[in-house]
Amino acid sequence: MKSQLVRGTEHPRELHDAKEIWVGGYTPSPKVGDALLGKLGRIPDELKGDSKSMSEKKWDVFIGHASEDKESVVRPLAKSLSAFGVRVWYDEFTLDIGDSLSRSIDRGLAGSSFGIVVLSPSFFSKKWPEYELQGLVAKEIGYGETILPVWHNVTREDVLEYSPPLADKMALRMDQYSPRQVALRIIKVIRPDILTRVHQRIAYLRAMSGAVAKKKKLAELVVSPIRHKKLPMSLIGRIRLFRAALWDVYPHSMEFWLDGFRRDLHPSDEITRWEHIAACYTEYAKMAELTPEQKEHVFGIFLGFSIGFGRDKMERHIPFIPEGDFEKLENMAKSTLPLYDIDEKFPDVIGEVPAEILESLAQIFNIGDFAKS
């Protein structure tokens, strides 16, 4: 499922060079574009749109589509849009024979800022009346440029045969780019605030790929400016959790933590590092009987591991931890999963849950004698 921009016969040069078109000012080839987008990996929370977008409507976009296109086209596109924080509404806009295309679009725009209509062989097989198809273009008179046609497995000649007005309308054609690239082209129109952050992330990744680490004197370092006026609630909740976990060894106000992460170029990356530090520290502290002084040195070791220090840089901490445990701490820091855990698995059926746990749950949730029910 791939895409390019086409518009009737007005821009034959654009159609010829469509493989080089990109969202925004940077225009790599599709192969390079896929490589860069692949580096994004999991979309960082700070790249995603705020739950309160630029519009007061409940949804950013709805997707009108033929029922046959839902699984192969619409769901992957909706998933890619949602991954960037776009609020997508599509389950209620599956169109079948007998449905009113015009009424469906009116209903969608009542709750969404934009509408996507997937034009495909399955869509046109519904035999919409011509006034319904012309209505897609006419909607822009009443709503502005809010209807975004998407072509799937159809050519301009196919669309022209069904509806000449639709064939001359700017459309996104899904036959040359990945779902994520299609999503970004749509986001350029419906949520440019998200696209700006994505471009910043890609520029950062490109810069970091050729960056060289250098040592600087502490006195030469300067405090970074505030880069994020507001952090998403999803990040704030994570900060609050590891702040509590590290309170004994690194007590700071919530504002101290928030101010620091607002200055990071990509706070979600830094938050992930601190989560790992807090998890390792908490797990080890639960296993070992440590004095307050030992806890501080254990924290110092995990902090050192997080910035690449080896044993030689942490010699001052080693005399204060239990003998022989430095390697244990090092292995914990290197592991994604806990190295030391309890022997337990989630029960397949509720009857396998121990009665004492059920009784505790019953008391917590005030649901009566849950263990006997």
The answer to whether residue 323 is catalytic is: no
The burial class, CB within 10 Å (0-12 / 13-18 / 19+), for 138 is middle
114, containing H or E segment = strand 112-119
CA 207 remoteness from chain centre: 21
Which of 132, 140, 275, 352 is catalytic? The answer is: 132
CA torsion angle for 170, 174, 178, 184 (degrees, to 10)? 20
Buried b (16+ CB within 10 A) or exposed e, 193-220: ebbebbbebbeeeeeeeeeeeeeeeeee
Q: Which residue type occupies 202?
A: I
In terms of Cβ atoms closer than 10 Å to its own Cβ (0-12, 13-18, 19+), residue 7 is middle
CB atoms within 10 A of CB 293: 9
Residue with tokens 């992460």: 261
Q: Which residues contact 202 (CB under 8 A, 6 or more apart)?
A: 26, 36, 37, 39, 40
294-to-90, 291, 311, 321 alpha-carbon distances in Å: 55, 5, 17, 6
N residues, the chain = 373
Catalytic positions, please? 132
